[in-house]
Structure 1
Amino acid sequence: TLNGRVDLVIETTTENHIIDFKTGSKIDNQLDFYTIMLYGDETKAFKSVYNAFEGSLENQDKTRLTKEILKEALINFFKTDTYSLSEKKSGCIYCEYENICRREF
């Protein structure tokens, strides 16, 4: 589950950079997802995570999510006739549909 938004995008005439500021844990494929959504391919931007507590910048060199994997997951999602609720309630914390879904019932 991804829940968030791009923190910083830097576009130049020669390259793109996506930087995610973190104060907690990171989701491994989040920056790949953002890159696919913004540029159509997971390889079209340099991706980094800035740890706000440590003041460190970590480059994400390993691709964890590809356009093909995302496309297959979306196709499979739309092929199903039912909506599956999150396995954990923690996955619903920031969901904009929490009050509609009524998962707790």
Structure 2
Amino acid sequence: AKNRPYYKVVVADSRSPRDGKFIEIIGTYDPKKPGHNSALKLDRAEYWISKGAQASDTVRSLIKKTKKAQASSDSSSQSERGTSQSTQEEAPPPSGTSSQD
């Protein structure tokens, strides 16, 4: 769509122009999309920050929101996995594994 804001989150050298060469794309941000509107590679973001990269205020906010969203989805998926694992443990072993002489 015309004039619709959509951004790439990139790692760039501070000496490069704003719209110039960048090192790596670590995510995207769509401010018009309702709900969770960013896709970020948290592991890569944390890697670059550990190497001395400085995140902008907006990117810092996106990282925080992404971590919060992952934590809530992880806790809900862990509770679902916990119930499915307990039902699998109670199931009898498959009958085809016993060897007959």
Question: What range describes the TM-score normalised by the shorter chain of this pair?
Answer: under 0.3
Indicate the structure with greater helix content: 2
The one of the two structures with greater contact order (alpha-carbon pairs below 8 A, sep at least 6) is: 1
TM-score of the aligned structures, taking structure 1 as reference length: 0.27
Higher-Rg member (1/2): 2
TM-score of the aligned structures, taking structure 2 as reference length: 0.27
